[in-house]
Amino acid sequence: MRHDFASDNTVGWCPEARAAIDAAQAGATPSYGEDPWTAGAADAIRDLFGTDCDVYFVFNGTAANSLALAALCQPYHSVVCHELAHIETDECGAPEFFSNGAKLWLAGGEDGRLDPEAVRVLATRRSDIHFPTPRVLSVTQATEVGTLYRAEDLTALSGVASSLGMHVHMDGARFANAVAGLGCDPADITWRAGVDVLSLGGTKNGMGMGEAVVFFDRTLSTEFAYRCKQGGQLASKMRFLAAPWQAMLADGSWLTRAAHANAMAALLADGLRARGVELAHPVEANGVFARFSSGDVRALFERGWVLHEVVNGVTRLMCSWATTADDVATLLGDLDDVSELST
Ligand SMILES: *Cc1c(COP(=O)(O)O)cnc(C)c1O
């Protein structure tokens, strides 16, 4: 079976991250993050954002998001997010669990992007003692459907949030793809646009595992280290989570690998459009959402392609650092074959 387009987490370490792991292998160092790689990686992240933020390394995105949200909320608060948000659909209630009961409130918005007015309406519909008061706005960048928020979109959302006393969290599992797609300064779509805390994705960027939690508002990270430890996220050999960050930020591969994934998605999208396949959302990062005929999806599966139909009739195809133009051509060739057979 071919899992190439099933997700952007089906492939392994990119060479730069892998080399960093091998280099960090050398010798004995202090454990639990007291090592030089962890300090170096946190400094590299501070340099990337051009600000003095607090940085923590955790194993995966669910932990990054749910521990970050727990740090921003009391159990009687609520978090406003998009109805397609990973924290709602794919984290098994971890944000509610780690926050000891904070509720998620779902708002709409075209193409996976929250609509500021929908957020305002949702967050202001009640203010009485019987209802959990909204305290956090969580946005996903790139969104779950492969679109991007521009800096001005984020500024509009954070303006609504701050007028209502809400913090802003960003799920950046695909943050590198967003920066590559927008060609912007990472600061412009985070702290300068009102983001307080970022879950910064490493896994889908080309690491084998590991995400960073970045607090731009350092007053919010008080005792966060204890949450990480209690949540099972304090790596004793933390250098292996940190070293790939240091390496990929130093040589720029965090961005070139993401730009490559985006370029492969654009190539795939062009090929699909040329074959008359309708796309459900604009392709702005590394995901393509295609409306295949159900016969074609089945026939592609029979030819070995594992693809996920995410909602009725929409199939998600993700590109990664490892996707090649040949992979794209092979998939499109198979699509030509199966659609010829079905006509
Ligand atoms: C992949 C992903 C995550 C992280 O998921 P884990 O499996 O917990 O690492 C978080 N948010 C989004 C939007 C994702 O796509």
Residues 313 and 177 in one domain: no
Q: Is 136 inside a domain boundary?
A: yes
Residues 280 and 194 in one domain: no
Q: Please answer whether residues 88 and 144 qualify as being in contact, where contact means their C-beta atoms are separated by less than 8 angstroms.
A: no
| Structural domain ending residue among the three candidates 198, 224, 251 | 251
Residues 207 and 296 in one domain: no
Residues 203 and 134 in one domain: yes
Whether the model pTM is above 0.95: yes
Q: Is 182 inside a domain boundary?
A: yes
pLDDT of the residue at 207: 98
What is residue 313's three-state secondary structure?
coil
Q: Is 309 inside a domain boundary?
A: yes
Give me the average pLDDT of each 10-residue run along the chain (343 residues): 95 98 95 98 98 98 98 98 97 98 96 97 94 97 98 98 98 98 98 98 98 98 98 98 98 98 98 97 98 90 92 93 98 93 68
State which ligand 1 atom lies nearest to the alpha carbon of 62: 8
pLDDT of the residue at 343: 62
Rounded distance, CA 218 to CA 2, Å?
44
Q: Is 4 inside a domain boundary?
A: no
Q: What is the dihedral of CA 178, 184, 190, 192, to 10 degrees?
A: -160
Structural domain tally of the chain? 2
Listed residue (300, 207, 243, 199) closest to 41, CA to CA = 243
pLDDT of the residue at 290: 97
pLDDT of the residue at 184: 98
Residues 219 and 97 in one domain: yes
* Residue 337, domain CATH: 3.90.1150.10
Residues 46 and 166 in one domain: yes
pLDDT of the residue at 26: 86
Residues 58 and 77 in one domain: yes
Alpha helices (H) along the chain: 15-24, 36-49, 61-72, 86-89, 94-98, 116-124, 151-163, 175-182, 224-230, 239-250, 253-274, 294-302, 325-342
Q: Is 1 inside a domain boundary?
A: no
Q: Please answer whether residues 164 and 123 qualify as being in contact, where contact means their C-beta atoms are separated by less than 8 angstroms.
A: yes
172 sits in which H/E element: strand 167-172
| Structural domain ending residue among the three candidates 222, 251, 280 | 251
Q: Is 174 inside a domain boundary?
A: yes
Distance 86 CA to ligand 1 centre (A): 7
pLDDT of the residue at 340: 78
Q: Is 203 in the pocket of ligand 1 (CB under 6 A)?
A: yes
Residues 284 and 185 in one domain: no
| Structural domain ending residue among the three candidates 185, 219, 251 | 251
Q: Please answer whether residues 33 and 236 qualify as being in contact, where contact means their C-beta atoms are separated by less than 8 angstroms.
A: no
Q: Please answer whether residues 4 and 327 qualify as being in contact, where contact means their C-beta atoms are separated by less than 8 angstroms.
A: yes
Q: Is 319 in the pocket of ligand 1 (CB under 6 A)?
A: no
Q: Is 173 in the pocket of ligand 1 (CB under 6 A)?
A: yes
Q: Which residues contact 156 (CB under 8 A, 6 or more apart)?
A: 116
pLDDT of the residue at 309: 85
Q: Is 311 inside a domain boundary?
A: yes
Distance 173 CA to ligand 1 centre (A): 6
Q: Which residues contact 244 (CB under 8 A, 6 or more apart)?
A: 13, 16, 17, 20, 21, 202, 206, 207, 208, 210
* Residue 80, domain CATH: 3.40.640.10
Beta partners for residue 136, in sequence order: 79, 167
Residues 186 and 89 in one domain: yes
> ∠ CA 161-165-170 to the nearest 5 degrees?
45
Residue nearest to atom 5 of ligand 1 (CA): 61
Residues 203 and 284 in one domain: no
Residues 38 and 107 in one domain: yes
Sheet containing strand 308-311, edge to edge, reads 278-279, 287-291, 314-318, 308-311
Residues 310 and 208 in one domain: no
Domain interval for residue 236? 15-251
Q: Is 146 in the pocket of ligand 1 (CB under 6 A)?
A: no
